[in-house]
Amino acid sequence: MPPSTAFVCQSCGAVSAKWSGRCEACGEWNTVAEETVAAPLGGKPAAGGKARPRHGKGLDFVDLEGDGDVVDRRLPTGIAEFDRVLGGGLVPGSAILVGGDPGIGKSTLLTQAAALAARAGATAAYVSGEEAVDQIRGRAKRLGLSDAPLKLAAETSLSHILEGLKKEKPDLAVIDSIQTLWSDAIGAAPGSVTQVRACAQELVRFAKKRDTAVILVGHVTKDGQIAGPRVVEHMVDAVLYFEGERSNQFRILRGVKNRFGPTDEIGVFEMQDGGLAEVANPSALFLGAREANASGSVVFAGMEGTRPVLVEIQALVAPSALGTPRRAVVGWDSGRLAMVLAVLEARCGLSFAGRDVYLNVAGGLKIAEPAADLAVAAALVSAAFDAALPVDLVAFGEASLSGEVRPVGRADARLKEAAKLGFKSAYAPAAAAEASPGVDVKGVATLGDLVARIEAAAKQ
Ligand code: TYD
Ligand code: MG
């Protein structure tokens, strides 16, 4: 049958018979492109992979009780931060997608992980579709890992890669990157969503069948989606994002999906000349160089997964020259900022009208916890009154629309981390006072209460 063409959204992979400016499935603009797809074998157009003919003897059931849980047979990568984000190492036969901006350090991280796993006795292979073998060697040398028995290959043809992997039978295979691969069974261009999906599908199938942990590297587009294959995210067992600013040496590995562990863990790294170094104490890092007596600066005692992380929140409130004052946020949700501002205005008598408000989470961390409400409010109020808060104070607590400060989980872990780093007091929900190892908890019942305290301190 001759290959046919279809219109495929390069963002979500939806297939349609005609072109449109906006994908009807995901709503993205200008993402629909014409692609050659494999000739349909069944009724449905085969946008990725061919439908497999059915033959053989049908389905054989197996007992629930098998020869051990695969999840328990974890393969450590030798990078503790990486292993923690995975939920305790690589699960044999699992497929993992590691996404991130080009140049952020994905190849560096995975060269290190694969080489360290190989050094520890696992068989590991690294296939690059972007670099020549000598380039990978050069990087391994710079990383001080030249001696690791890591297998290297530079290849973009999926069939060659699968052949090689079948021969090598590695415990771990890194494919860098999924966007460079092409399958000769698919007419579409490399990097197109049809190719990416078909290649990922084959590699995931290989992982399951041969018990190899397969790590796929994927580049991310500017809007934060892994280029093209949002579809790949659904196929793999775990999706990790490698984040950071290229101008800053800190990198965060964040789990966004994990079938074998929690998704809220982060791994923190520092990009150095000799590769990525693990940061065991991220709080010290995010607090970095804090100024004493700066108004608008408050340390939030947050949680990232199971780990407490202290991070500085900075606010600036300045007279606005614009008709509609500016609200700018880096590292937090702008909707949440609007809510905290509205509660401060409606319940506490503060006015931000005619004033620009800037909020920044220092160190490039992105915070998603509502527990940051109280710290954000404290930073805003401190900035509004130009009153610096004590440098040895942390804050956490969720605010309701009525201005009430609600208890949040893991108060004990937050306060313990604060005490460890030398913090002496905390603005927190009153309930947290029970669990205060070495930190003086100043129970805050409402945001009005918070404003009164900061205002009183400003007048002293
Ligand atoms: P790379 O891993 O190639 O990024 P990606 O695969 O995500 O595109 O890393 C890119 C940057 O990292 C590059 O600009 C150089 C820098 N780098 C270091 O700073 N130290 C190192 O040891 C290595 C190998 C890279
Ligand atoms: Mg790379």
Report pLDDT digits (tens) over 201-243: 999 999 999 999 999 999 886 665 555 557 788 899 999 989 8
pTM for this one? 0.75
Distance 274 CA to ligand 1 centre (A): 10
Q: Among candidates 87, 104, 92, 81, which has minimal Cα distance to 224? A: 104
Which pLDDT score is estimated for 73?
83
Which pLDDT score is estimated for 1?
52
Cα 274 versus chain centre, distance: 23
The answer to whether residues 438 and 419 touch, using CB atoms and an 8 Å cutoff, is yes
Which pLDDT score is estimated for 343?
97
Shortest-distance ligand to the CA of residue 177: 2
What domains are there in the chain, each with its CATH number? 4-37 (no CATH), 74-280 (3.40.50.300), 285-459 (3.30.230.10)
Average pLDDT of the chain, as a whole number: 87
Cα separation, 355 vs 361, in Å, equals 20
| Coil/strand/helix, residue 48 | coil
Report pLDDT digits (tens) over 364-396: 788 989 999 999 999 999 999 999 999 899 999
Report pLDDT digits (tens) over 261-272: 887 788 889 999
Distance 106 CA to ligand 1 centre (A): 7
The residue assigned the tokens 């809007």 is 223
Evaluate if residue 174 carries a pLDDT over 60.
yes
Distance 307 CA to ligand 1 centre (A): 27
Atom 16 in ligand 1: residue holding the nearest Cα: 105
Report pLDDT digits (tens) over 272-302: 998 999 987 777 777 767 777 889 999 999 9
Shortest-distance ligand to the CA of residue 129: 2
Which pLDDT score is estimated for 295?
92
**DSSP labels, 66-102:** -SS-GGGS-B--S-HHHHHHHTSSBPTT-EEEEEE-T
Evaluate if residue 86 carries a pLDDT over 90.
yes
Which pLDDT score is estimated for 40?
44
Q: Among candidates 291, 343, 315, 332, which has minimal Cα distance to 450? A: 343
The answer to whether residues 439 and 423 touch, using CB atoms and an 8 Å cutoff, is yes
Mean pLDDT of 298-323: 90
**Sign of the C-alpha dihedral, residues 100, 169, 137, 76?**
positive
Higher pLDDT: 9 or 151? It is: 151
Ligand 1 cavity residues, CB under 6 Å:
100, 102-108, 139, 142-143, 271, 273-275
Which pLDDT score is estimated for 56?
61
**Which residues are close to ligand 2, an ion, with C-beta < 5 A?**
107
Report pLDDT digits (tens) over 321-331: 988 999 999 99
Kindly state the tokens that stand for 349: 């008598």
Mean pLDDT of 110-117: 96
**In whole angstroms, how far apart are CA 359 and each of 294, 339, 379, 386?**
14, 13, 9, 15
Which pLDDT score is estimated for 67?
64
Q: Which helix (H) or strand (E) holds 108?
A: helix 106-119
Kindly state the tokens that stand for 391: 């440098």
Please give the share of the chain, as a percent, with pLDDT higher than 70: 90
Which pLDDT score is estimated for 38?
57
Evaluate if residue 314 carries a pLDDT over 70.
yes
